[in-house]
Structures are given as structure tokens and as C-alpha cells.
Amino acid sequence: QYPYVVGAMGVEACAAAAKGKTLPANVPAPVLLINKDNAEASLKNFPRPGGDYPDPFREMLQQ
């Protein structure tokens, strides 16, 4: 899991709620299995994930 992303998504959820958006009941935290193929990208991007992840709150704020 990525505490950085969980925190950012929490802030985005608060901003979306303040704009009157309906929040989803459950949003899974992004998880990435680190292996030799993605270790370099993961270290380079830390504390952010080494890849894309779904973020429904960011999408709500862009509408």
C-alpha cells in the first residue's frame, strides 16, 4: 500500500465532498507487488506508486 496516495486521496475526497459530489462507499488502496521488473521505477517514484492507479476522487474534481 502507499500511505502517500491514501493521504492524497483522502484530501481529494474531502474536496470532492465539499463540492457536493457523491463519494463512493469503498475505494481500494492501490497495491503494487515490487519485483525485479519494476523495482527501479518504484524506487525512482517513491513515495508515489511506480505505476498508474485508479483515483475516483481526482476524476470527480476534474469534472
Q: What local confidence, expressed as pLDDT, does residue 30 receive?
A: 85
Q: Which residues are CB-contacts of 10 (< 8 A; sequence separation ≥ 6)?
A: none
pTM over 0.85: no
- 19 vs 31: CA distance, rounded Å: 28
Q: In this structure, are residues 50 and 42 in contact, taking their beta carbons and an 8 Å threshold?
A: yes
- 60 vs 57: CA distance, rounded Å: 5
Q: What local confidence, expressed as pLDDT, does residue 16 receive?
A: 97
- 36 vs 58: CA distance, rounded Å: 30
Q: What local confidence, expressed as pLDDT, does residue 53 receive?
A: 84
Output the tens digit of pLDDT for each of the chain's 63 residues.
788 899 999 999 999 999 999 999 999 988 888 999 989 988 998 888 877 888 999 989 998
Q: In this structure, are residues 12 and 57 in contact, taking their beta carbons and an 8 Å threshold?
A: yes
